[in-house]
Structure 1
Amino acid sequence: MSLNIIDLIKGQLGSALVTQAASQLGESESGISKAIGGLLPAVVGGLANNSDNPSVLDAIKTAPSQGVLGNLLGLASDNTWVQGLLTSIFGDKLSGLVNSIATYAGISNNSSASLLNLVTGATVGSVGKYAADNNLDESGISSLLNDQKGIVSSLLPAGLSLASLNVGDWAKGYKFDNDNDTIHTPPTTPISTPTSHDEPKIEVTKSVADGGTFPDRPTTTSDGGSIWKWLLPLLLLVAAAYFIWKQCEKKETTATTTVVGDSLSTTTDTASMQNDTASAITTAKVDENIDLNGTVLKGYRGGMEDNMITFLKSGSYASAADDAALKDQWYDFDHVNFKMGSATELEAGSQGQLENLVAILKAYPEAKIKIGGYTDKVGNEAANVKLSGERATYIKDWLAKQGVGAQVLGAEGYGGKFATVDASASDAERAVDRKMSVRFAK
């Protein structure tokens, strides 16, 4: 499996940096986290699409000597070195990217531009350090960047797309961008129509009683015309209708679809297409206002908060006889994720949804919950169970610090026990199994 550059960078963009950047730029921490979440894949994508650009490769090689990683907040101010690199990557689309992220994250354009400098410095600095540590030359760096093209599509957060980022032509370098593709129909050979058509004839032998044999006389209909004038076209029409019906039946059961992320054309049945479509719709979620008894929470319509509040309002929790009636209904966190291999460091943007959970518990003090942690099937299962359990316990302890500890009855790690994606699948595909969840309990 190729290295995911994002994993190199996340350690540089932790919660401490988010807090400092929010204070420095005068923005909310949630806005800063959201902006970083959108900028990071855009910058990685831009570098990957410029993997053969000498100026980009040189910037990565010289990043360690520039001391980039030691001064990320300093890069948030106008920095000539970073600005030159960004111009090489995005060209005249730079301002469009800044504006799009500002709108998406709810921050000012100036803050968006500053964060773009910071994220670019963190990305280039991390890749440069990795290259230096592993003795990669320009060819090795180029290869590393190229490997990212297959995973960048899965890194864009919900509510963002290449089109919404206004990144323009450079996105064509990704095989998952089909916005400008055209389906070319192969030329067909025109069917020539004969200018004249001799009427087919049939020889009919009459009985001696009818007057003998008449080899040149066609059978006639009651109106005096040849029977083949209408019978032959009718047969051809029936045959054509049958052929068309069979083709339509075939198209209803098979269809060619393009897997956007991997640019792979494949044939799938109708049920699979419906599942893929439902998955795509689910992925394209956008934050909305979720009503909590008059208090507005930011979350996905149909997401964790929305579903938990709906369940509580319905009275289903109050009417549940015991824990057995609740144990099978889990609610997956949409945003709460831990840094790779860590049970104590959350990724940027995770705290907001935990705060939403606190608000729900305070609004319904009679409600009790349990936290669950899950991993994919990769690695030692005993270690996975331990890690997922520690992560669940971390969230339980965090909630206790917010004053709702009495409502959290337990925390448990299940490792890869309930993972559905095979260990041989790609990292992006297995991500669905790496999650934190919550359920009601009694």
Structure 2
Amino acid sequence: MSLNVIDLIKGQLGPALVSQAASQFGESESGISKAIGGLLPAVIGGLANNSDNPGVLDAITNASSSGILGNLMGGASSNPVISTLLTSIFGDKISGIVNAIATYAGISNNSSSSLLNLVTGATVGSIGKYATDNNLGASGISSLLGEQKGIVSSLLPAGLSLASLNLGSWFGGNSSTADATPKEEPKIEVTRSTTSAGTNPERNNNEGGGSIWKWLLPLLLLIAAGYFLWKQCEKKQTTTTTTSTDSTAAKMDTAATMTPADTSASTTTVKTDENIDLNGVMLKGYKGGMEDQMITFLKSGNYKNAADDAALKDKWYDFDHVNFKIGSSTELEAGSQGQLDNLVAILKAFPDAKIKIGGYTDKTGNEASNVKLSKARAEFIKAAVAKAGVGAQVLEAEGYGSKFATVDAKASDAERAADRKMAVRFAK
């Protein structure tokens, strides 16, 4: 098993959560993102340093069923399990970590403390879910955590080190120093030759015997010492350069994960809500989005003219705004309800139209769990629409898991987001 657990967790701490945390804590999004980027390696390091701790392993094992991933903002900060876990892995170092992150990110200590709980909840929950999906027992979790020890220092962003977080004694000491162990410089000893009684020093010098070593030996020793020190300096410089380069690369990767601007939508197409005409009633939606396409199709008469369901099954309309909270099938992200209301309005305007709801996931995780989650989400949308009085027009809700996913499981979270969606199609 060779897995960087950052890849498991970063999807939980994306732009939506950063924005929500910034609003709730009264901080800037850049400050929240920066703090998360510093806290995540620290928390992973704490867990890695306690990979054999039974309490830590139990907390991770039970996290999958605790529901913490579905309520990070509301649950992690007040969860006693998280508080106990932090005390277990950091002890009296917690206040030092909170202070260091607050100073580094330019946020308050209260916000830093809340984010420490939040990041810990996301980390433990994500590892717990991975362990459940892959049938890992305590020994498997311990092994996974132990593998992280070698990469913790490289994950810290520029401006932070294990020493600045008061964790300098972990994983081989201060990660910010390329060579913390002082080298012992060679000692040069010059031994004065002694002469026997009655020996003429001047004669010995003139004869060129052993006296030549009086100046040649020290010279050779000085040359050897100089070469040794030069090689050590060269080695230290190379090590420092390599460490700096690796740390910069890790920082860039972490920043790419945590920065709110790093989303596929913001870097490719910027969509703006417009008025979509529904028989004189204006709905808010994207031009060319779900509502626009569905209304156009219905007005064209193509639905009415479709002979059977086979003529409709290949055309799905992806929801633009409907998103569930991470790991949940019953809690929608803010802003999702408006598009469900639009769908109800369309069905009421075309009472003969019937639909089917579909749920999808990406290729990561256990497929049985993916199918179950996608099915539950589709059923939730079906029930929500039915409550609005158009239940008879929703024929079916189905979960497909990753069956139709097209993005490789090893791709970035932003790329895999295209496969995690809810959709609707017309049916007969």
Q: What is the TM-score with the length of structure 2 in the denominator? A: 0.54
Distance in structure 1 (CA, Å) of the matches to 2:133 and 2:243: 39
Residue 282 of structure 1 and its aligned partner are, at CA, apart by: 6.5
Distance in structure 2 (CA, Å) of the matches to 1:66 and 1:347: 26
Secondary structure of 2:64's counterpart equals helix
Q: For residue 255 of structure 1, what is the aligned residue in structure 2? A: 232
Distance in structure 1 (CA, Å) of the matches to 2:191 and 2:214: 19
Distance in structure 2 (CA, Å) of the matches to 1:74 and 1:108: 19
What amino acid does structure 2 have at the position aligned with 1:122?
A
Distance in structure 2 (CA, Å) of the matches to 1:71 and 1:133: 20
Task: Assess, with a 3 A threshold, how the Cα gap between structure 1 residues 58 and 179 changes in structure 2: closer, same or farther.
Answer: farther
Q: For residue 217 of structure 2, what is the aligned residue in structure 1? A: 240
Unaligned ranges ≥5, structure 1: 202-219, 257-269, 286-331, 339-345, 355-390, 402-442
Q: For residue 198 of structure 1, what is the aligned residue in structure 2? A: 196
Per-residue CA shift, 1:7-26, capped at 9, x if unaligned?
Answer: 00011111111111111111
State whether residues 15 and 347 of structure 1, in contact with CA within 8 Å, keep that contact through their aligned partners in structure 2.
Answer: no
Task: Assess, with a 3 A threshold, how the Cα gap between structure 1 residues 23 and 176 changes in structure 2: closer, same or farther.
Answer: closer
Instruction: From 208, 225, 228, give the equivalent of 2:204.
Output: 228
Secondary structure of 1:351's counterpart equals coil
Q: Give matches, 1:243-322, under 5 Å.
A: 243-248=220-225, 250-251=227-228, 254-255=231-232, 270=234, 274-278=237-241, 280=243
State whether structure 2 residue 326 is matched by structure 1 residue 349. no
State whether residues 76 and 121 of structure 2, in contact with CA within 8 Å, keep that contact through their aligned partners in structure 1.
Answer: no
State whether residues 336 and 347 of structure 1, in contact with CA within 8 Å, keep that contact through their aligned partners in structure 2.
Answer: yes
Q: For residue 102 of structure 2, what is the aligned residue in structure 1? A: 102
Per-residue CA shift, 1:58-86, capped at 9, x if unaligned?
Answer: 11111112112111112343321110000
Secondary structure of 2:52's counterpart equals coil
Residue 249 of structure 1 and its aligned partner are, at CA, apart by: 5.1
What amino acid does structure 1 have at the position aligned with 2:68?
V
Task: Assess, with a 3 A threshold, how the Cα gap between structure 1 residues 234 and 395 changes in structure 2: closer, same or farther.
Answer: farther
Residue 180 of structure 1 and its aligned partner are, at CA, apart by: 11
Q: Relative contact order (alpha carbons < 8 A, sep ≥ 6): 1 or 2 greater?
A: 2
Residue 175 of structure 1 and its aligned partner are, at CA, apart by: 8.7
Unaligned ranges ≥5, structure 2: 273-428
State whether residues 3 and 144 of structure 2, in contact with CA within 8 Å, keep that contact through their aligned partners in structure 1.
Answer: yes
Distance in structure 1 (CA, Å) of the matches to 2:120 and 2:27: 19
Task: Assess, with a 3 A threshold, how the Cα gap between structure 1 residues 161 and 20 changes in structure 2: closer, same or farther.
Answer: same
Q: For residue 395 of structure 1, what is the aligned residue in structure 2? A: 267
Residue 238 of structure 1 and its aligned partner are, at CA, apart by: 2.7
Q: Give matches, 1:123-138, under 5 Å.
A: 123-138=123-138
Task: Assess, with a 3 A threshold, how the Cα gap between structure 1 residues 69 and 284 changes in structure 2: closer, same or farther.
Answer: closer
Task: Assess, with a 3 A threshold, how the Cα gap between structure 1 residues 186 and 243 changes in structure 2: closer, same or farther.
Answer: closer
State whether residues 32 and 105 of structure 2, in contact with CA within 8 Å, keep that contact through their aligned partners in structure 1.
Answer: yes
Secondary structure of 1:129's counterpart equals helix
Per-residue CA shift, 1:20-40, capped at 9, x if unaligned?
Answer: 111111111111101100000
Residue 105 of structure 1 and its aligned partner are, at CA, apart by: 0.8
State whether residues 75 and 117 of structure 1, in contact with CA within 8 Å, keep that contact through their aligned partners in structure 2.
Answer: no
Distance in structure 2 (CA, Å) of the matches to 1:186 and 1:241: 16
Task: Assess, with a 3 A threshold, how the Cα gap between structure 1 residues 395 and 186 changes in structure 2: closer, same or farther.
Answer: closer
Secondary structure of 2:258's counterpart equals coil
RMSD across aligned C-alpha pairs, in angstroms? 4.0
State whether residues 43 and 120 of structure 2, in contact with CA within 8 Å, keep that contact through their aligned partners in structure 1.
Answer: yes
State whether structure 2 residue 24 is matched by structure 1 residue 114. no
Distance in structure 1 (CA, Å) of the matches to 2:134 and 2:198: 83
Distance in structure 2 (CA, Å) of the matches to 1:397 and 1:2: 35
Distance in structure 2 (CA, Å) of the matches to 1:61 and 1:251: 52
Per-residue CA shift, 1:79-105, capped at 9, x if unaligned?
Answer: 211100000011001011011111111
Q: For residue 27 of structure 2, what is the aligned residue in structure 1? A: 27
State whether residues 14 and 348 of structure 1, in contact with CA within 8 Å, keep that contact through their aligned partners in structure 2.
Answer: yes
Distance in structure 2 (CA, Å) of the matches to 1:236 and 1:337: 60
Secondary structure of 2:57's counterpart equals helix
Give the paired residue count.
Answer: 271
Residue 137 of structure 1 and its aligned partner are, at CA, apart by: 1.4
Residue 395 of structure 1 and its aligned partner are, at CA, apart by: 2.8
What amino acid does structure 2 have at the position aligned with 1:198?
S
Q: What is the TM-score with the length of structure 1 in the denominator? A: 0.52
State whether structure 2 residue 153 is matched by structure 1 residue 153. yes
Task: Assess, with a 3 A threshold, how the Cα gap between structure 1 residues 54 and 191 changes in structure 2: closer, same or farther.
Answer: farther
Residue 44 of structure 1 and its aligned partner are, at CA, apart by: 0.2
